Amino acid sequence: MSLIDELNASASRIVDCVRFAAVWVGHIDHEFSEEERAAILMRLPDRARGMRLDQIVDYVRVGMIHTRATDLAKVFGYIRQSLSPESREPLMRLVCEVVAADGRVSIGERHAIAFLADLISKTRELPAIFEEETGLPWTAPPDLSDADYWDRLDAGHRERAEARGESASGPRSRNSSHRDSAGGSSKNSGVDAARAEALATLGLVGTPSAEELKAAYRRLARVHHPDRFQNLDEEAVGNATRTFQRINAAYGLLTR
Amino acid sequence: MRDLYKTLQIAPVSEVAAIEAALRDPARTRHPDARHARAILLNPSRRAQYDRVHSSLRHIGQLRSLVGLQSTAYAREHERDFGALQFDFRRVPIATRFGSFIASVRK
């Protein structure tokens, strides 16, 4: 059965199309994470008469790998025509929440959201909605095809590394970051590795401030709280519990 | 974002040797974007990040043209090389360009 047949047979077609759009946005950089999946299931859980989320994920994955965009385009065309005006803002909020669920918004995800906003004529409202849902400013994605952008980026890294090198020699060397100078002892690098992993768990890079840490922790904890998965099966609750514990441990380590 | 692979006239999954060969070809490096291609495609970490966004944008550009959305302000600014239907005003014959204007004057 093709995707279009499946959607035509579905009793809740427009809801399935909205979930489809959300999965597509999450999948745009080929990394559909558990957090993004949980964010969709929280807002729009599986229903008895619609398509299951796993089915939708499979269709999106196949459609993107083989770049057979015609079926995907039909779904987006249907959303554009049939989504009621009052459901358009909730769709934008849903996709913003999905892309931020794993704590970071990639360049591809920004492009994908902008496409959806154009599709349902919410271009002008997008920055405000994005900032409300993710807590991040809406900035246009950087131009990766610009050699000057990369040179500026590298210069910035060098500068920051030098600044850190100077501060590491001071009395606050305990707080120095994981990208340390070559003279670090093995015990120190083990601590740094744990710290780097904790940062990655919270979706942060470098040396975030206390507010950034707290915001990232709150966002992830909200998504992964096991209580939210009580109406799903035991496996989902188990996964959420483990993830939640990992987030707590990472936050504890970084704020110690 | 520029499509650097289109600039060099090679496939996006080309090996490094093919990129180097294209960059040695004077006919292709005359393009003003060849400088960017050299700085990005020959640097593995830059190329890896560029390729991810490149494939996403190709996909989005394809959808934009299939849905009929290719001419929004956002697409013009950020996806300029990625719409499947590129409309080049300079290629349109002069008579067609000013046809409606001439007709309105004649009325």
Is the pLDDT confidence value at A145 over 80? yes
Nearest to A144 among B33, B50, B69 (CB): B50
Q: What is the ipTM of this complex?
A: 0.74
pLDDT score at B88: 44
Q: Does A31 touch chain B (CB under 8 A)?
A: no
pLDDT tens profile B3-48: 888 888 888 878 888 889 989 988 888 888 888 999 999 888 888 8
DSSP for chain A, written as a single string: --HHHHHHH-TTHHHHHHHHHHHHHHTTTS---HHHHHHHHHHS---SSS--HHHHHHHHHHHHHTT-HHHHHHHHHHHHHHS-HHHHHHHHHHHHHHHHTTS---HHHHHHHHHHHHHTT-TTTHHHHHHHHHSS---PPP-TT-HHHHHHHHHHHHHHHHHHHHHHTSTTGGG--SS--TT--HHHHHHHHHHHHHHHHTT--S---HHHHHHHHHHHHHHH-GGGGTTS-HHHHHHHHHHHHHHHHHHHHHH-
Check: pTM over 0.90? Answer yes or no.
Answer: no
Is the pLDDT confidence value at A79 over 70? yes
Nearest to B1 among A30, A106, A144 (CB): A144
Q: Does A81 touch chain B (CB under 8 A)?
A: no
Search chain A and give the residue with CA nearest B36.
Answer: A147
pLDDT tens profile A3-19: 777 777 777 788 888 88
pLDDT tens profile A203-232: 777 788 888 888 888 877 877 777 766 666
pLDDT-derived band at A180 (thresholds 50, 70, 90) equals very low
